[in-house]
């Protein structure tokens, strides 16, 4: 039980494997949560926009993008964010610990999952395939964005003028028209 889970935190062993993709996890609960990705079931819906998700904690974090609340604060610098996971990743940026090293190039990273994704650049593996056309990619988020070209979905809505966008970066750029922010100096 608990001892086995603890040992896995040191060994990195992930015995729970998905039958649909290359995901593997340390805990059976993680695999159960992951399997919801393949069912397409997203019962948690945002009341402000079209966002929906599989877990209540993800909805809670998403709602913070509307409220602007960033309760997780870095003790080293003035960084703050909407989710504890983001803060954990950020805090690692203050250390130089990058235990995963690519054998093909100089790339190093802190997480085995990021290394797995990076290695696909060298192998050319593109496990995420569009069911509507011949598009394929090496990162699930890229497929999610691509699918919006078929569905026309624009989940990122401006809270000021209700304009909507397919990609979050487009909304950020658009918001500058309201705030007057000019991040690039000539």
Cβ 22 vs Cβ 14: under 8 Å = no
Q: Residue 125 falls within a domain, yes or no?
A: no
The number of distinct structural domains making up the chain is 2
Q: Are residues 32 and 6 in the same domain?
A: yes
Q: Residue 9 falls within a domain, yes or no?
A: yes
Q: Are residues 51 and 37 in the same domain?
A: no
Q: Residue 126 falls within a domain, yes or no?
A: no
* pLDDT for the residue 38: 74
**pTM for this structure?**
0.47
* pLDDT for the residue 119: 94
User: Which residues in the chain land under pLDDT 50?
Assistant: none
Q: What is the CATH number of the domain that holds 33?
A: 3.30.160.60
Q: Give the CA-trace dihedral at 62, 94, 11, 103, to 10 degrees.
A: 100
Q: Residue 182 falls within a domain, yes or no?
A: no
Q: Residue 32 falls within a domain, yes or no?
A: yes
Domain that holds residue 37: 1-41
pLDDT in tens, 111-150: 888 899 999 999 999 989 999 999 999 988 899 889 988 9
């Amino acid at each position: 039980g608990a001892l086995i889970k603890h040992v896995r935190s040191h060994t990195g062993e992930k015995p729970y494997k998905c039958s649909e993709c290359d995901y593997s996890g340390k805990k059976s609960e993680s695999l159960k949560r992951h399997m919801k990705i393949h069912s397409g079931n997203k019962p948690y819906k945002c009341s402000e926009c079209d966002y929906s998700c599989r877990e209540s904690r993800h909805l809670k974090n998403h709602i913070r993008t509307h409220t602007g609340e960033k309760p997780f604060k870095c003790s080293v610098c003035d960084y703050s964010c909407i989710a504890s996971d983001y803060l954990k990743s950020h805090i690692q940026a203050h250390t130089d610990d990058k235990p995963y090293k690519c054998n093909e190039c100089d790339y190093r990273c802190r997480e085995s999952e990021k290394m797995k994704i990076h290695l696909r650049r060298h192998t050319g593996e593109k496990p995420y395939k569009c069911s509507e056309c011949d598009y394929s990619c090496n990162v699930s988020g890229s497929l999610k964005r691509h699918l919006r070209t078929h569905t026309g979905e624009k989940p990122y809505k401006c809270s000021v003028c209700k304009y909507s966008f397919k990609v979050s970066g487009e909304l950020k750029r658009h918001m500058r028209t309201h705030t007057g922010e000019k991040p690039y100096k000539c």
